[in-house]
Amino acid sequence: MPVRQLISMRFASLLGGAGLIAFAGCSSTAATTVPVTHPTMIEVSPEDFLGNVPCSDGGPGLKRYVATLIDTHQTFGGIGGEGGEGGADSAAGADSAGGVDAGQVPAAGGAPDRFQLPSSGPTPCLAAVGFGFVVTARHYHVKIDGYDTDDLAPRASGARQMVSPAPTEAEPVTPLIAPRWTAHCDRAVAVDLTIVRADHCTPFSAAP
C-alpha cells in the first residue's frame, strides 16, 4: 500500500475517533442541581438547658420535657422597643396565671405584649423541638418544663400543663403533674428559610 494512502487512512481514523469522543461529550447529561431549602423555625435543644440534670431512661433524672414558645416581639425590639417594659421575666411568666389559656397579654394601649404559641408534646430528653408557624424577624422566648416521669400527657392539645395519661375509677379527675425543673431561652429571632436555634438558655433549676 502506498505510504501516502496509509497516512490518509490513519488520519481519517483519528478524525473518526475524535468525532465519537466529541459526540459522547455532547450527549452526556449534566447533573441536575437540586436547591435545598429549610423551613422557617425556632429550635430548642436539651444540651443548651440540661445543666447538671442527667437525661435518664431508667434511673432518676429527666425523662421528658415540654417546650413553650412565646412571641415577645413587642417587648424585644418591636413595638415596645428593645428591652421594653415586661422583659424576658414577664414573658416567661406570661402564662403562669392563666395557664394554657393565657394567650395574649395586654400591654399599654391595649396591644398584646406577648403571645403564647401551642406547647410541644412531652419530648424525650435527648430530642430537640422545632417550632414552625413563626414570623420572620420576630423575637421569641422559650419556656421549658422538665419532668422525671414518662407517665404524662398534655391536658389538651397544645397545652403546657401535663396530666396523667388517663383517669381511673379511683381518680376520675386527673390532677396536674407539676414539672420537676424549669429553664428558659431568650431572644431567638426568626430568620426566613432558616432553623434558628434558641441557644441563650438558662440551665435547669428546681421548679417552684
pLDDT per residue as tens digits for the range 75-96 = 555 444 444 344 434 433 333 3
d(CA 81, CA 10): 82
Ranges of H-type helices in 43-182: 87-92
State the Cα–Cα distance between residues 66 and 113, nearest whole angstrom.
Answer: 23
Residue in 35, 118, 9 with CA at minimum distance from that of residue 71: 118
- Structural contact between residues 61 and 55, judged by C-beta atoms closer than 8 angstroms: yes
In the DSSP assignment, the letter for residue 33 is P
pLDDT value at residue 114: 82
Angstrom distance (rounded) from CA 123 to CA 111: 33
Check residue 54 and give its pLDDT.
95
Mean pLDDT for all residues in the chain:
75
Q: Higher-confidence residue: 204 or 57?
A: 204
Residue type for 153, please?
A: A
Quote the pLDDT of residue 38.
80
pLDDT, position 61: 94
Inter-residue contact 121 to 154 (CB < 8 Å): yes
* Distance between CA atoms of residues 80 and 58, nearest Å: 46
Say what the pLDDT of residue 59 is: 84
The closest of 157, 120, 128, 135 to 72, measured between CA atoms, is 135
Residues in the chain: 208
Question: pTM for this one?
Answer: 0.67
CA distance linking residue 136 with residue 22, whole number of Å: 50
- Burial label, 15 (beta-carbon count in 10 A; 0-12, 13-18, 19+): exposed
Domain limits of the chain? 41-206
Question: Can you tell me which residue has the cell 392539645?
Answer: 157
Q: Which amino acid is at 195?
A: I
- Tell me the HSE value of 37 on the side-chain side, using a 13 A CA sphere: 4
Look at residue 67 and tell me whether its pLDDT is greater than 80: yes
